[in-house]
Amino acid sequence: MKSQFPIQALFAAALCVSSASVAADGAKPVAPQGKTVGVVSISSIIPADQLVSGTNFLVRAGYRVKVAPNVPGPKVISAAERARLLEKFWLDPEIDLLVFSRGGQGAADVVPLLDWDSLRKRPDMPVVGFSDVTVLLNAMLAKGVGHPLSGPTLSYADRLTSAARDWFFSALSGEELPPVNVEPLCGAIPERGVRGFPVGGHLERLYRLSRMGLMPSTAGRIVFIECTAKYPPQKVRQCFDGLLDGGFLNGAAAVVFCNFQHKGDDRAAVEAIVREFAARLECPSFKGFPYGHVPQIRLIDFRRELAISPSGTLRFFK
């Protein structure tokens, strides 16, 4: 039988517990020094090497790290157990920020089981993740609980470009972020451009969330959408149609299409679907923001307002 010692040793090495009690205030920047990150999981198991490199990534930046016991595996625990662990770490007074270990599958099973009234005891907890975690981040907006930040999970730490790493920590610390050029795609852009708070995430998870009745309002917001090649063009079309027909984009200030991972014929088909979908929108659309399953992923703070000029200069306000 294969020994479990490597997993146990990994967990011991990764677990660094702060003894300080810190009041939660996710509305303020989360600067590294003296702060503790809680690493949590409601989706798939993170590979051992990615847990080590991801933990080191946070420690080198000056954070203390506290790892939930289900993160190292060796298997995924039940949805109810994952919900209780997330609540426990959310309410832990030693933890200032939650970062998900990875995405994958499973968040949609956990989110309906969360005790939102309990989580309101710390209503501003900052939570970082993307992909499958899209379900939780947008449910947080719908429930008015927590501070959602859609960005790289721990599993992406050793894949990030230097610019993506700098953006990640600058965004968490509330520092000024450099402008990003995006390409106007479709729709009339107001003379002064568009302005609003961001929302969005993985296309299929947004579609799934809309069918769960936990979709936040996008009125006045700028919606960012990405997708992986796991979902073929026909599924991409179904998801876009579902979001539009279900009213998810009613009143949106703009839509920004980010990274879609399709290649070859599928890539051409998806690009055509995106343009067709953009033409049906009642708001302007753009493309090319570096967000999604790519090393250059930029963290998007759902509480940080941004503006896009008519020429496509995207700026987050400090």
Q: What is the pLDDT along the chain (318 residues), one digit of tens a residue?
A: 333 334 443 444 444 433 222 223 334 678 887 899 999 999 999 999 999 999 999 999 999 999 999 999 899 999 999 999 999 999 999 999 999 999 999 999 999 999 999 999 999 999 999 999 999 999 999 999 999 999 999 999 999 999 999 999 999 999 999 999 999 999 999 999 999 999 999 999 999 998 888 899 999 999 999 999 999 999 999 999 999 999 999 999 999 999 999 999 999 999 999 999 999 999 999 999 999 999 999 999 999 999 999 999 999 998
Whole-number Å distance between alpha carbons of 227 and 230: 8
Pure H helices in the chain: 5-14, 48-60, 79-91, 107-110, 116-119, 134-143, 162-172, 203-212, 233-245, 264-280
Phi and psi at residue 226, to the nearest 5°: -135, 170
pTM: 0.91
**Among 179, 216, 213, which residue's Cα sits nearest to residue 200?**
216
How do the domains of the chain map onto residue ranges? Answer: 14-172, 180-316
Q: How far apart are the first and last CA of the chain?
A: 54
Report the chain's C-alpha Rg in angstroms. Answer: 19
pLDDT value of residue 6: 43
Q: Tokens standing for 197?
A: 């708070």
CATH 3.40.50.10740 fits 14-172, yes or no: yes
Q: Mapping DSSP to helix (H, G, I), strand (E, B) and coil, where does residue 261 land?
A: coil
State the Cα torsion 18-155-315-228 to the nearest 10°: -150
Q: What kind of fold does domain 180-316 have according to CATH?
A: Glucose Oxidase; domain 1 (3.50.30)
pLDDT value of residue 11: 47
**Among 119, 129, 125, which residue's Cα sits nearest to residue 83?**
119
pLDDT value of residue 28: 60
